Amino acid sequence: MSKRITASEVAKHTSPDSAWVIIQGQVFDVSKFHDSHPGGAKILLRACGKDATKQFNKFHNDKVLAKYTPKLKIGDVSEEAKL
CATH class of this structure's domain 4-77: alpha beta
What is the predicted pLDDT for the residue at 45?
Answer: 93
pLDDT range class, residue 1, cuts 50, 70, 90: low
Pair 78, 4: CB distance under 8 Å: yes
Give yes or no for residue 83 having a pLDDT over 80. no
Domain extents in the chain: 4-77
The pTM assigned to this predicted structure is 0.90
What is the predicted pLDDT for the residue at 38?
Answer: 86
Pair 5, 27: CB distance under 8 Å: yes
- Characterize the bridge pairing of strands 4-6 and 18-23: unpaired
| Predicted confidence (pLDDT) per residue in 25-79, tens digit | 999 999 999 888 888 889 899 999 999 999 999 999 999 999 999 999 999 999 7
